[in-house]
Chains A and B, each alone.
Chain A
Amino acid sequence: GKECSHHDEL
């Protein structure tokens, strides 16, 4: 999968 966008959330 793509590099997950969620990783900038806390």
Chain B
Amino acid sequence: KRFAVQGEKWKYTNLTWSLSSSRRPSQLDPHVTRSVLARALDVWQQASRLTFTEVNSDDADIVVSFAKRYHDDAYPFDGRGSILAHAFFPGSGRGGDAHFDDDELWLLQPKNDDEDGTSLFAVAAHEFGHSLGLSHSSVKGALMFPWYQGIQPNFVLPEDDRNGIQQMYGSKETERKWGKIPYYRPIETPPPTTTTTTTTTTTTTRRPYIHHHHNTHQGHHPNHRPYTPYPRNPNLYPKYYPEKPSSPERPTYPERPTYPDRPSYPDRPSYPDRPNYPDRTNVPTYYPERRHYNATEEHPRRNHNHYPRPTETTTQTTTYRPRYPHIRPEYPTYPRANSPSDPRYKPHYPVKTTAKPRLTPTRAPQHTTPAPDKPDACNTNYDAVALIRNELFIFKNKYHWRIGASGHYPNYPIEINRMWTELPRNLTHVDAVYERPDRKIAIFVGKELYLFDSQYLVTGYPKRLRELGLPESLEKLDAAMVWGHNGKTYFYSGSVYWKFDEDVGRVELDYPRDMAMWKGVGYNIDSVFQWKDGKTYFFKGRGYWKFNDLRMRVEQERQLPSAPFWMGC
């Protein structure tokens, strides 16, 4: 029985926190709430080298928010009672955040526990343990014990929790003995002159790091000031506030290049006149004139041999009718304007080259000036990217590009529903596309899934997303792929993802899960697919990440621009 370290930890020790501006407690005073949260963080600060600074931004490391029931993560609340709150382990985006059930009756001042209500301080201190990387502990009385135990008036962090946090971040004593350890996030004071520092200046303005030394714990220090969080009075602490840098002049950009005039084209070749059609007067008719038979005459149709065979000598005066009416007589052939012998011959189909297929797509046809609503291949993000029949399809708005072994197909992008005609006629975009293991093509448009067997819509489709086991509230998918690493299908949307069981046709039960699992790609991706090289590529905005399946993280933090590599711009 001892504390448990989950595995994730913060890379630095001067952390920031904030109370979410959009999800505040509906029944508590925000100012008093913030002071209780600050005290809960101080419990961990006193026991380790960590420091916590409140900032007024939702970009803080630890964002505290209050929500009810389902609040678009994998841990819905359940109203008053039972589940009180939860928090995420350290990481980017949602990592470190703590969510509290707004249906609970939160107590801001510790009272004795037999009354109704739950101490916010006790629960916050526990959740911040998760935010720092600690899992639940089975030691009864430990702060990280999963069940609520109330709070003692003179609360001191139990030993089990102290051991846990000091194993991860070191203790204050070591800091006093050895000085600051490189885990401290440097305070950036940019030199005012170079333009590149403009961006770092931006960083600075976003997060002035002020080393507070909280002494609120006892609250009875002779020169203790009441806790007045950020922003502080700059006159009082001049040396902590760097001067606001004056923004440098905008750089002047060179004039746009002027394009050369269009080349004048040679006159169009004159074609011979159209041939006039042969006269039709002596074309044999296929059917005899209709004859009327009076009552006494025998009607030929009544006895079956009323059609004399050509070999039979007949004395009838009806004209000869061939037995196979659908064979037409030969018409004169027209001079073919573009037969190979004609010097003006230009083949109208792509000429197959025998060049070796290249892995990287070739340049998109530059000479085509896109139609006004067509996306510019070299300056766009993508709605979906998929490998279908070993060819790369890139979707944007209602168009798509197609890149085969010999590079870009000419005359692309074309409209998506020219290839998949049974998609909605007023299609504006697709959300996700992937080729299933059974080689059918799944195209997600909003809340619907269209399944195609090559170009043909499979009966029973489109289907609603909820039929796949996805939540009714889900508006759309961001991406879908079959992950080569384990051959399973994954759906992505917002900050969560699902694993889809192709055999059952529904997502697996213990999903959705948080996107933090796919380290480095963040939330709200545009697309993901498995390329021919067996690597996984995530797309977001105009860039992409190459993903390392074994290490479950992107190969490099910075995105690479998509246009040069995938569109050959």
Is the A/B pair a real complex?
no
Could you list which residues of chain A lie within 8 angstroms of chain B, going by C-beta atoms? none
